[in-house]
Amino acid sequence: MTANSGGFIRANGIDIHYVQAGQGVPLILLHGGLVSTNPIWAPTPVSYAGHMQTLARRYRVIAPDTRGCGRTVHDGGVVTFDQLADDVLALADALDLDQPLIAGFSEGGTTATIAGIRGGQGRFQAIVNDAGYDAFNPQAPSAAMMRQTLGGSPTATEADPDAFAQMMTHNEQMRPMFELLKADQDGGQGDGHWAEYLRLAFHRTTQPPGYTFEDLAKITAPTLILVGDRDDYCTLDDAVTAYRQLTNGEIAVLPGTGHIITPAKIDQTLGFFGRHLQAS
């Protein structure tokens, strides 16, 4: 296998774009919202793109673009977390991955966990949910935060790309991320796709996914709840609640860390997977 490869594979009725690197035990890696697997995101702290080679030194990393995001085209209608989880399960089947590891950040963490629920016993060797457990709390503050971010108001009922663009361009720190978002989404699927992506993301990130913390008890694979103690979206109380529902769970809280991916989080992920692979 080359150091970096990938392409498209037909799974769950769509052509899923993915990148991969490394050899050995397969690790499915799921990106968060607003970003994709595009390497242009590597300098940002909300993407796995800058950590691919670190992970690939230990595992065969397979990182797909979410349905409707990056270079994976959606076939119409809303996109639910059930669809995203089923995409992951179908991707694993299409690539003949036997009991892969799976990890995701933010929205990707939610998808990884729901895939663990829907996939049943023995589907994954271990799961890492990095700051994606808030979705299992129907009263989580993150839903209103996403309505504000994507819809321009905490009571918005649909995405407002114009309001989003105004907010991002008027914030000096966020403006570069907006430019990356447009370059990524429009480059992958045509001019203006960034606005359609916001509409798809709004639907699934502003309402409960149909699962609660109690559903985490259905997961039999070892599962790590990972979060920073300064995360504005995922509370520590919810982290503990999620951890206590797991039958084979661990929890790690990173000090001085917000809603981002850091080298320390990657170290925690590698350590967790290593322990459970040795124990199996």
Q: Could you give the domains of the chain?
A: 5-139+207-279 (3.40.50.1820)
| Per-residue pLDDT at 164 | 97
Rounded mean pLDDT of 233-243? 97
8 Å CB contact between 125 and 150: no
What pLDDT, in 10s, does the model give residues 148-162?
999 999 999 999 999
In Å, how far are 5, 89, 128 from 23, measured between CA atoms? 11, 20, 20
Give burial (CB, 10 Å; 0-12/13-18/19+) of 60. buried
Structure tokens belonging to residue 124? 């994954």
Here the tokens at position 261 are 């991916």
pLDDT greater than 80 at residue 202: yes
What sign has the CA pseudo-torsion 41, 273, 105, 255?
negative
> Residue 21's pLDDT band (boundaries 50, 70, 90)?
very high
3 state DSSP class of 61: strand
Which pLDDT band holds residue 6 (cuts at 50, 70, 90)?
confident
pLDDT surpasses 90 at 79: yes
DSSP state of 202: H
Would you place residue 222 in the very low, low, confident or very high pLDDT band (cuts 50, 70, 90)? very high
Given the structure tokens 């309001």, which residue do they identify? 163
Give the number of other CB atoms < 10 A from CB of residue 224.
24
Q: Is the pLDDT of residue 3 over 50?
A: no
Helix (H, G, I), strand (E, B) or coil at 104: strand
State the pTM of this model. 0.96
Confidence band for 1, pLDDT divided at 50, 70 and 90: very low
Query: Across the chain, which distance is largest between two alpha carbons, in Å?
Result: 51
Residue 279: its pLDDT value, please? 79
